[in-house]
């Protein structure tokens, strides 16, 4: 419980700090996303040190949904969907940073602040596994959250 609380409190302070009203960055989620990106990029080295190479993209996504998610959020992704053309939707029905906020639509306007870091985290991890992507999140009713991953093919 202690380590989880520290991660949560630190995360919410990072959110407050980066979205500081005084320097006019109230709606600028890019810093937060970038912090997530670098964290994800680094953490993947540590998490995958015992793993063989992943077979394909889907295999990598499965790793993100299971091992990666449980080592960070203590639970797995509840639903993974894909159109097999580079779009993946990861659904977490009780997303850690939202579970204590609300169980409905109260505070919905604040939700983007609490998912931006995780978007970066996923993007960073995929980047270090060789997948360039764009990650966005969608919150309709808290505490459930959908992460859309669009793989960029060049």
Position 75 contacts another protein (CB under 8 A): no
Residue carrying the six token digits 């990029």: 41
For another protein, the binding residues in 15-44 under the rule CB under 8 A are 15-16
Task: Identify which range of 30-38, 52-60, 94-102, 122-130 contacts another protein by CB under 8 A.
Answer: 94-102
Among 104, 152, 153, 154, binds another protein (CB under 8 A): 104
62 binds another protein (CB under 8 A): no
- Residue closer to another protein, measured from CB, 8 or 67: 8
Cis ω for the linkage preceding 143 (within 30 of 0): yes
DSSP 22-60: TTT-TT--HHHHHHHHHHHHHHHHHHTTTPPPPSSHHHH
State how far the Cα of 42 lies from the Cα of 108, in Å rounded to an integer: 31
* Region binding another protein by CB under 8 A among candidate stretches 57-65, 77-85, 96-104, 124-132: 96-104
Is residue 101 near another protein by the rule CB under 8 A? Answer: yes
Instruction: Give how far Cα 94 sits from Cα of 89, 102, 144, Å.
Output: 15, 11, 5
Residues that bind another protein (CB under 8 A): 5, 8-9, 12, 15-16, 100-104, 106-107, 110, 114
């Amino acid at each position: 419980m202690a380590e989880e609380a520290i991660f949560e409190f630190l995360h919410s302070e990072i959110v407050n700090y980066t979205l500081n009203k005084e320097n006019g960055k109230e709606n600028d989620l890019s810093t937060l996303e970038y912090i997530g990106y670098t964290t994800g990029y680094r953490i993947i080295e540590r998490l995958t040190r015992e793993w063989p190479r992943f077979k394909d993209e889907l295999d990598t996504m499965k790793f993100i949904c299971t091992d990666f998610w449980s080592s960070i959020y203590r639970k797995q992704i509840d639903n993974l969907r894909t159109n097999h053309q580079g779009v993946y939707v990861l659904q977490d029905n009780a997303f850690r940073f939202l579970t204590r906020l609300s169980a409905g639509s109260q505070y919905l306007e604040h939700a983007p602040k609490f998912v931006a870091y995780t978007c970066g985290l996923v993007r960073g991890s995929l980047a270090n596994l060789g997948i360039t992507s764009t990650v966005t999140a969608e919150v309709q009713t808290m505490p459930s959250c959908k992460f859309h991953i669009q793989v960029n093919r060049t």
